Structure 1
Amino acid sequence: MAQLNYWLLLGSFLLLLATLSSTITARLGLPLLLVFLGVGMLAGDSGPGQIQFSNYPLAFGVGNVALAVILLAGGLQTRIQSFRVALKPALSLATVGVLVSAGLAGVFAHWLLDLPWLHALLLGAIVGSTDAAAVFAQLRYGGVRLNERVGATLEIESGANDPMAIFLVVTLLTVVSGASQPSATGMLIEFVRQFGLGAVGGLAGGWLISRAASRFSLAESLYPLLILGGGLMIFAATNSLGGSGFLGIYLAGLVIGNRPLPASESVRSMMDGLAWLAQAGMFLLLGLLVTPSRLLPEIGPSLAFAALLMFIARPIAVALCLIPLKFSRREILFVSWVGLRGAVPIVLATFPIMAGVNGSVALFDIAFAVVLASLLIQGTLVPWMAKRCRVEVPDYPEPLARHGLRQPGRADWQIVQYRVVAGAPAEHSMPHTAPHLEHGRAKPLAVLRGVRLMLPRQAEHLRAGDLVVAAATEHALPDLGRWYGEAQNTRMAYERTFFGDFVIDGDAPLLAIAELYDCPVAENEAEFDVAALIHARLNRPAVVGDQVDFGSMTLIVREVERGRITRVGLKLGH
């Protein structure tokens, strides 16, 4: 019992220390996962903690379960609508991109680190894929909102590229260890089995879990446990059948999160907390595995290898995958930059150690150095790169709280709360006359002023500090956030800088705009409206933030509804 209390006290102290340290690193712009990793290293045998830990099988098991929880939570928060613009590029990056990155990394490892070819290619496969934990954490909590095409591509890629990396590592391990020499046919069959069973198991399992959740009436606090238990069952069953459990649990979360689900906000909130706990525990444990005194003598070549991976291998792989899909150079540059490495390479690096491959500890140390460099350099500069590459779009304040409504067949209505800030458009307005209520997407229910709860008609005019409770659809939340939660002059100044001084409808005739601003119009575009021109110039589905030059002006997509451009910003003198 004393031993149990000791480890429980130590683990909780490390978790608390890493969490509190995040307040400092947030000001410095450092990724939170780097903090957990650093605390684990300091607690290890070469740090002040002096904890002796070298249980690679335990770290492998914990890492797998933690990654499964993270992918399930990530799938729950991924909107199926994002697949309209991101499925093709994400799948290309998750397969061809990983293969190219791993191959180039293997060449660099052989040349720079003087590793035998098979060991070099094995190292390339270990570090060739991006990490879902690192990507989800930086994109969703890094303080930047990306345009839908770029953000969804990066998230879906990180959720779907683990099968390719595992396939490459396992295949190369069988060759390095001399267990067998896999044939091309056998490799193809294994590849199809990994992806096929993972996809089928995840989609079918997710549908079954969502059906079970909607049919059984449970206490609200039990629905997250149902989702978690069902997701881990899909993960284990898919792995047992020879498929990719990681792909399966991500797709299961995607299906569950996009179907009607009782207590959906409670499920997402609890799963988000569990994902953070999984990330913290996993990175603390992986940090304990590292011996800095063993890492330091080879840190120079390892960091040089990491630089080649970040600045040459990843950009080449991304360019090969995204240029045919009409991504702009700025988007390709940003996607190349956010090739974050995290827990996945470290977990994969335990494979050779457990298989008894010669030199496997050195491969583990190099992979760890790559992860440190990626989180420290790439992760820290994600917001800065988003601004430089102009792939961010204006964000909107989130509700203070939200609660999903239980209703058969629909899950989009929810109860939300907003605090009216000073200078917001809602200040001094009547609660029931706000412009976002016109299309029936939101309805104010109550206003809390101090300790007095009132109906909207009793409040007369809203004041700064009022708490507004409303029923709203998901689609209405951006408008609600801007209406209640942000000062109008701040919002207008930022949107004017981003979208330009003027706003026009997507169906505005192009000739009328051309005559007004004296711009030439090509003969084949004379019958276009503004939306048609943007679609024709982009030659791909449009998202908010897409830009097209027209004469001396720039047209910037401001609103998109069901694939149709409805509002466009106009910026003069591009």
Structure 2
Amino acid sequence: MLEDLYLVILVGTVLVLLAAFSSLLASRFGTPLLLLFLSVGLIAGTDGLGLEFDNAGLAYFIGTLALAVILFDSGFQTPISTFRQAAAPALTLATIGVLGTSILFGIAADWLLGIGLFEGMLLGAIVGSTDAAAVFFLLKTSGIVLRDRIRSLLEIESGTNDPMAIFLTIALVELLSTGGGFEQLGLSVLLGFVQQMGLGLVAGLLGGRGIAFFIAKLSVDRGLLPILILALSIAVFALTGALGGSGFLAVYVAGLYAGNAGLKRAPSIRRFQEGMTWLAQIIMFLILGLLATPRNFDAILIPGIILALFLIFIARPVAVSMCLWPFGFRRRETLFVSWVGLRGAVSILLAILPILGEIEGSYAFFNIAFVIVLTSLLLQGWTLASVARWLRLTVPPRIGPVEKFELELPGAADHELLSYRVVEGSPVATGSRVPRWARPSLVIRNGRSMRYQYAGRLQPGDHVYLFISPRFPPLLDRLFASRTPVAEDDEEFFGEFTVNPDSQASSLAEAYGFELDDTENEMTIAEVMSRRLGGYPSYGDRAPIGPVELIVRETDADGVIVSAGLSLSPPDDTLLTFLRTTGSGRSALGRLFKGTRSKD
């Protein structure tokens, strides 16, 4: 008996190690990490090495706990500034978008499989949400820098759309179990949505506030603090679910509140959360891979692939277009958001619910969902970077790599203790001085410590310790980062000319022969750009104005545009030539341009 227990522990540990080491392969070759985790489970399962695991209830229990950990960390790691920037469109996608995708997919599934509209909508709800783990990892390892607004939208949507998909799936499973009709569906969905989301939101806010309060008031051992936070987050999740609310929404909101509450020892908490999230992802994906039986895929393989293509190319794009249309997103931005609709472990986890609810054909639902997830990861996951470049939604990185470590500084809420490693080619390595307001105090060179004042010129490999106000680290990052090489296509990203953002917008209208409304005529170019970008301009954003396109090149810490570029489409080159040769044109252009083509 004990030998069997040890064998199970050994096999489980080996599988976790294989999944963890597979992340190296994913980083090297751009492989979707979730695909590798699932593959390890499939290879070890009943149709691979022969490990038998068919306990759907246990798989759902483990997956649910793992998902709660992942969602709490997703909220905890999301800065409130990022959430504000894209909250409205992201939450619209996470609710109305999931519902619209489920309905469109349900119609297609009913037509193709002949399973009934309710059953088709159930399958649509199962695969209706994007996977946060897959989206976060691919955006991190793809080697591209997306515009802030698009990146924030994708991260928030993938982190918040699980509660809606879970709610729809549970509602449809209950409806099919009781044999209800359309009237009952509409009423139950409406009442259930208000109850679950309302309680989930309130409980999440109260839970996040409670976590922040306890951590601030209690004197807890350093090693116990992250465990206490994790336990409290699980308690928020479980209590909200027991009261009839959405525990998944509650745990995400609690993480968002707590992560932005300025908790003490935040760096160590984040490191612990990151490790627990990786472990939760690996365990959840392995369990779901073990539960699958590939030999049963034959009968549903072709229909599953067809439905996956319908989801990728029709259902998701239509739902995204409808949701983003009121927020002024451009066509290529909408296309990219549609493409980054990766399905993952949540879809496979939800596919267990019909089995637990003893719905007829439930194992077929599970197998079809599995095929759809694999197709999505193979097709969308491997092409994310290429599609982003094709749609011209990437921007050059602002700075190169920087090696920075946050160190805890007890009793000093107004300052941080940072340690930078000087990298080759960085400004400080080539002679730039560290500002005195950064309070540099210590340099470690070749294992020896010395005061900064006596260290002389900093050298690559030095570790520099600084006390600094929390608002200034981005400025120091520029000094300690390696230089980013100037790309030949920078003009394409930032425009042919540098524009003075403090110039009057009326001068721009005069130069290019278009009209602004009375309000914008009194504004500066920076103010007009900010207005047309929804009040949250960010690096690389583009604001079409008349026959030109103004591009955000840099913003300050308060989000004010301090550098802008101007781009002309090819048909407008003749207009530019005309303006250069006329007196009024030269006068207007002189007020707008700083006189050099942008090559930054």
TM-score (norm 1): 0.91
Q: Distance in 1 between matches of 2:141 and 2:222?
A: 26
1:282-326 deviation line (CA, Å, top 9, x unaligned): 101100111111113421221111010011100100000001111
Asked whether the 8 Å contact 2:33–2:134 carries over to 1, the reply is: no
Alignment of structure 1 residues 17-28 onto 2, 5 Å: 17-28=18-29
Q: Deviations over 1:105-146 (max 9, x none)?
A: 111111222322222121111111122222233334544443
Match of 1:522 in 2: 515
Counterpart in the other structure of 1:444: 440
> Residue 363 of structure 1: SS of its match in structure 2?
helix
C-alpha distance 142-263 of structure 1, shift in aligned 2 (>3 A)? farther
Structure-1 residue corresponding to 2:318: 316
CA contact 2:19–2:40 (8 Å) conserved in 1: yes
Cα distance, 1:197–1:389 mapped onto 2, change above 3 Å: same
Structure 1 residues 563 and 230: CA distance shift in structure 2, 3 A: same
SS of the residue 2:552 aligns to: strand
Structure 1 equivalent of residue 538 of structure 2: 543
- Structure showing greater radius of gyration is 2
1:573 and 1:230 mapped to 2: Cα distance? 54
SS at match of 2:467: strand
1:325 aligns with 2:320: no
Is 1:480 matched up with 2:473?
Answer: no
For 2:45, the aligned partner's letter is: G
Residues in 1 aligned to 2:109 and 2:460: alpha-carbon distance in whole angstroms: 60
Establish whether residue 462 from structure 1 lines up as the match of residue 458 from structure 2: yes
Matched, 1:405 2:400: no
Range with greater deviation from structure 2 (159-168 or 118-127)? 159-168
Q: 2:371 and 2:470 mapped to 1: Cα distance?
A: 42
Say if 1:511 and 1:521, in contact at 8 Å, map to a contact too. Answer: no
**Given that residues 147 and 392 in structure 1 are in contact (C-alpha distance below 8 angstroms), is that contact kept between their aligned partners in structure 2?**
yes
Query: What do the CA deviations read for 1:525-555 (whole angstroms, capped 9, x no partner)?
Result: 5433111221344455322221124577542
Deviation at 1:98, TM superposition (A): 0.5
AA of the residue aligned to 1:569:
A
Match of 1:245 in 2: 247
1:70 has 2:77 as partner: no
Per-residue displacement from partner, 1:156-201 (whole Å, max 9, x unpaired)? 2222222221222122212222255536444322111110111011
Q: Deviations over 1:260-295 (max 9, x none)?
A: 211100000110011011001110110011111111
Residue 51 of structure 2 aligns to a residue whose secondary structure is coil
Q: Does 1:159 align with 2:159?
A: yes
Q: Distance in 2 between matches of 1:308 and 1:88?
A: 27
Determine if contact 1:44/1:288 at 8 Å carries over to the other structure: yes
Q: Are residue 97 (structure 1) and residue 93 (structure 2) matched?
A: no
Structure-2 separation of matches of 1:131 and 1:329: 23
Q: Quote the Cα distance in structure 2 between the aligned partners of 1:492 and 1:294.
A: 51
CA distance in 1, matches of 2:101, 2:367: 19
Cα distance 1:473–1:345, how it changes in 2: closer, same or farther (>3 A)?
farther
2:404 partner letter: L
1:212 aligns with 2:214: yes
Secondary structure of the corresponding residue to residue 155 of structure 1 = helix
1:335-392 Cα shifts (integer Å, max 9, x gaps): 1111111111111111110111111000100000111111222122222222223333
Q: Identify the residue that residue 189 of structure 2 maps to in structure 1.
A: 187
* Structure 1: distance between partners of 2:141 and 2:212: 27
Given residue 218 of structure 1, which amino acid in structure 2 is its aligned partner? V
C-alpha spacing 1:210/1:403, structure 2 compared with 1 (3 Å): same
* Partner of residue 12, structure 1: 13
Amino acid at match of 1:3: D
In the aligned structure 2, how far is the partner of 1:154 from the partner of 1:98? 14
Report matched runs for 1:190-339 at 5 Å. 190-339=192-341
What amino acid does structure 2 have at the position aligned with 1:162? D
Letter in 2 for 1:461: R
Structure 2 equivalent of residue 108 of structure 1: 108
Answer yes or no: is the 8 Å Cα contact 2:174–2:357 preserved in 1: no
Contact 1:78 1:257 in 2 (8 A): yes
Asked whether the 8 Å contact 2:91–2:160 carries over to 1, the reply is: yes
Query: 1:572: how far off?
Result: 4.8
Paired amino acid for 1:148: D
- The structure 1 residue matched to 2:564, chosen from 554, 569, 572, is 569
2:48 corresponds to 1:43:
no
Paired amino acid for 2:230: L
Question: 3-state DSSP class of the match of 1:24?
Answer: helix
What whole-Å deviation, never above 9, does each CA across 1:72-96 have from its counterpart, x for those lacking one? Answer: 1111110111232211111111111
- Output the CA distance in 1 between the equivalents of 2:474 and 2:117: 52
Aligned residue among 411, 418, 429 for 1:416:
418
**Matching residue's letter, 2:403:** P
The answer to whether the Cα contact below 8 Å between 2:171 and 2:188 also exists between their aligned partners in 1 is no
542-551 or 227-236, which deviates more = 542-551
Match of 2:377 in 1: 375
Provide the alpha-carbon RMSD of the alignment. Answer: 2.4
Matches of 1:164 and 1:564 in 2, distance apart?
Answer: 32
- Map Cα deviations across residues 384-417 of structure 1 (whole Å, 9 max, x no partner): 2222233334254343322243447x4x743222
Which residue among 357, 365, 368 is the counterpart of 1:366? 368
Q: Quick one: distance in 2 between partners of 1:538 and 1:230?
A: 39
Displacement after TM superposition at 1:451 (Å): 2.2
Distance 1:14 1:474, change over 3 A: farther
Q: Is the 8 A contact 2:432 2:479 kept in 1?
A: no
Return the TM-score normalized by structure 2.
Answer: 0.88
The residue matched to 1:470 in structure 2 has which SS? strand
Quote the residue 2:572 is aligned against: none
CA contact (8 A) 1:419 1:485 kept: no
Distance of 2:448 and 2:495 partners within structure 1: 42
Inter-CA distance 359–402: structure 2 relative to 1 (3 Å threshold): same
Letter in 2 for 1:212: F
SS of the residue corresponding to residue 493 of structure 2 reads helix
> Does the 8 A contact of 1:306 with 1:374 survive in 2?
yes
TM-aligned CA deviation for residue 61 of structure 1:
0.4
Opposite residue 43 of structure 1, the aligned amino acid is A
For these two proteins, the number of residue pairs brought into alignment is 562
Q: Which amino acid aligns with 1:466?
A: D
Question: Residue 555 of structure 1 aligns to which amino acid in structure 2?
Answer: L
Runs of 5+ in structure 1 lacking a partner? none
2:175/2:185 contact within 8 Å kept: no
